[in-house]
Amino acid sequence: MSEESTVLLGSYKNSREYIILKAWTSGYHKRCSQNLRNAVLVLLNISSNLTGTITLPLLSVTMDTIGSDNFVVIYHTVLVCSLLLIFIVIFSKTCIDKTVPLTLASSWKVVLANALSNVVNFILVVYASPPSRTPPYLQSILFMTAIPFTVLLRLLFLRKGMSAGRGISCAVIVVGLFISSEPQIWGLKTQQTASNASSSLTERILWPLCFALGFIPFALVNLTCEKELTRKNSEAMNFILWSQIFQMILMTALFWTDFIPGFGMVDNFADFKSNIKGGLRCLYSSNSSCRQALVKSWLFILAFTFGTLSQYLLIQSSDGAIFAAVVEAVVGPFASLFWTLFEYNQVDDSVRWNPVFNITTSFSIGGLALMIPGVILYNYFVIQEKKSEDINLDMVLNTN
């Protein structure tokens, strides 16, 4: 083999794909294909986000009933989730891969941007999500902005576009999202609770706008992950560790958002203290007056934890930010199907089996019938493009 071929082969061994393959197939792990690995991460991400999407509104209603507010939900979730992810990273270093560094191995600016984007996304979306602020039918529609925001910001900040095949796949997924949202758009009969939207024209405009703007930092979370985790010698677990540390600090520093007039949920520090005390008491109590806040909270926290973990690892091992946004977009129609089969009774705080199959069900199924093939097709084009790159590399090696 020529000296140039040796250099090229060495550069390949330092490439992201080789490093990821080595990381996942060394030590105690069996060798498995990248496709299987991505499939596992996709399923974990969808199931985690679906659990969180179903649990969050139930938890929000409970916290409001017991006299607490959404800031307690956000802060408690971020704090506990961060501690769990930090434990997972330390466990990974101790028992699985001792080469995982604990000191900051990424650019602190990128990690800070990732953490800040996460926290801003939590605040904007959660505060704007009550039905009295953003009607459920609008939330389903506005969720579709995650994909175009990710595509546009990726092009703007990372200077990365996409092939025609992947663009068509994204378009198919957006069409599927739109179809699944048709019942909410046209007010067809569903099992979702009717909203009590504000009568103020200003609020009816500003709150949905706030909800939509929350997906800009959501896109930036994925983009900062792609920027950092797709470079050579990237350390995903280390990046997760430090992002969570920054998130805890930032979330604590932004407690004042709960005091913003017209935005937050409290008017003074006494109310804030009372909400925190009452909320935390119920989040760790099985008392009947707490309406199962303990169970709902930990379901949401676990879903949030594994959703975050799978999101970061999926971005590292797949095509990047767009694929992660595409996968998370599938959650909406699945959540609609869940509420087609079950209903929530707020009086006795229970979720009951009560399937209703009507025209609205067909919209959810029809949307998924487009979205799932769209996700598979998107991943197919990613694989084909990578194969083409590998073939070109082999041709260069063989000619030398």
Q: What is the pLDDT of residues 64-87, one digit of tens each?
A: 888 888 899 999 999 999 999 999
| Cα 352 to Cα 4: distance, rounded to the nearest angstrom | 67
pLDDT-wise least confident of 32-36, 103-107, 345-349, 371-375 = 32-36
At residue 9, does pLDDT exceed 50? no
CB within 8 Å of 184: residues ≥ 6 apart: 136, 137, 138, 140, 141, 190, 192
At residue 190, does pLDDT exceed 60? no
Which of 61, 122, 102, 388 lies closest to 247, judged by CA? 122
| Cα 110 to Cα 86: distance, rounded to the nearest angstrom | 18
Report the mean per-residue pLDDT for the chain.
81
CB 116 within 8 A of CB 253: no
pLDDT-wise least confident of 45-49, 198-202, 359-363 = 198-202
Q: Is the CA virtual torsion 37, 43, 44, 49 positive or negative?
A: positive
Residue 7 confidence (pLDDT) = 45
| Cα angle 51-57-63, degrees, rounded to a multiple of 5 | 120
At residue 2, does pLDDT exceed 60? no
DSSP string of 253-291, one letter each residue: HTGGGGGSTTTSS-SSHHHHHHHHHHHHHHHT---GGGT
Q: How many helices (H) and strands (E) does the chain have?
A: 17, 2
> Collapsing DSSP states into helix, strand and coil, what is residue 345?
strand
| Cα 163 to Cα 178: distance, rounded to the nearest angstrom | 23
The DSSP 8-state label assigned to residue 144 in this structure reads G
Range ranked top by mean pLDDT from 109-113, 365-369, 391-395: 109-113
CB 354 within 8 A of CB 343: yes
Q: How many C-beta atoms lie closer than 10 Å to residue 167's C-beta? A: 15
Q: Of residues 165 and 191, which shows the higher confidence score?
A: 165
Mean pLDDT on 92-109: 89
Q: Of residues 34 and 210, which shows the higher confidence score?
A: 210
Stated pTM of the model: 0.80
pLDDT-wise least confident of 246-250, 269-273, 284-288 = 284-288
